[in-house]
């Protein structure tokens, strides 16, 4: 008989690597990433799926990891901010955030970059309106929105 405090095996791929984690059913995906897998680049901020800081890719789609259960991600493929750079080379979007002052305190930055990467992967040359519409769920409480927009637009032009 399964009990309330049972632990569950979650098997998933994180940044290209197969992982197996034991978690209680109530573990959120962001907590599993941070506490069980030590991937602390993903931040939890609002905890209710509104601010976008905890954005990761789940099976290729941007997802709020703070309102997703770890057990729901069983079998899934997850990409976190740690999986955006490849072979020690920053992704062009990361470099663009550095070059264009796309972050201040940095708490929202992982989510901003993962969300922006997902947009540019699907649409390498978005209009400014498309970027705004896509990024509207990524809040920056330092209010550095113009630099974030500029970082994404400049990265888009490099890719195109």
Partner 1 sequence: MRDFIYHAPTSLDEALSLLEQHGEDARPIAGGTAMVNLLKQNLVYADHLVGLGGVPGLRGISRSNGDLRIGALTKHREVERSADVASAAPLLAEAYSRVATVRIRNMATVGGGLSHADPAQDPPPALMALGARVVLASTGGTRELPVEDLFVDYYETALQPGELLTEVIVPAQAPDARAVYLKFLPRTEDDYATVAVAAVARVENGVCADVRVALGAVAPTPVRATAVEAALAGQPVTPEAIRSAAEAVAGQVDPLADFRGSSEYKRDMAVVFTRRALEQALGLGR
Chain contacts with partner 1 (rule: CB under 8 A): 2-6, 8, 24-26, 28, 47-50, 52, 55, 58, 61-64, 67-69, 71-72, 74, 115, 133-134, 136-137
Residue 121 CB, shortest distance to partner 1, in Å, is 13
Q: Which is nearer to partner 1, 63 or 96 (CB)?
A: 63
Q: Which is nearer to partner 1, 28 or 42 (CB)?
A: 28
Q: Which is nearer to partner 1, 99 or 128 (CB)?
A: 128
Instruction: Give the 3-state secondary structure of the chain.
Output: CCCCCCEEEEEEEECCEEEEEEEECCCEHHHHHHHHCCCCCCCCCCCCCCCCCCEEEECCEEEEHHHCEHHHHCCCEEECHHHCCECCECCHHHHHHHHCCCCCCCCCHHHHHHHHHHHHHHCCCCCHHHHHHHHCCCCCCCCCHHHHHHHHHHHHHHHC
Residue 44 CB, shortest distance to partner 1, in Å, is 11
């Amino acid at each position: 008989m399964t009990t309330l405090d049972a632990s569950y095996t979650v098997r998933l791929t994180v940044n290209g690597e197969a992982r197996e984690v034991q978690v209680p059913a109530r573990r959120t995906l962001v907590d599993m990433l941070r506490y069980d897998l030590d991937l602390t680049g993903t931040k939890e901020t609002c905890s209710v799926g509104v601010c976008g800081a905890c954005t990761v890719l789940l099976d290729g789609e941007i997802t709020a990891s703070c309102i997703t259960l770890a057990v729901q991600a069983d079998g899934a493929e997850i990409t976190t901010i740690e999986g955006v750079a490849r072979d020690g080379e920053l992704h062009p979007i990361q470099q663009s955030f550095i070059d264009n002052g796309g972050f201040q305190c940095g708490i929202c930055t992982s989510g901003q970059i993962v969300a922006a990467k997902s947009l540019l992967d699907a649409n390498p040359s978005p209009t400014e309106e498309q970027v705004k519409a896509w990024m509207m769920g990524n809040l920056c409480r330092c209010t550095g929105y113009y630099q974030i927009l500029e970082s994404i637009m400049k990265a888009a032009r490099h890719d195109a």
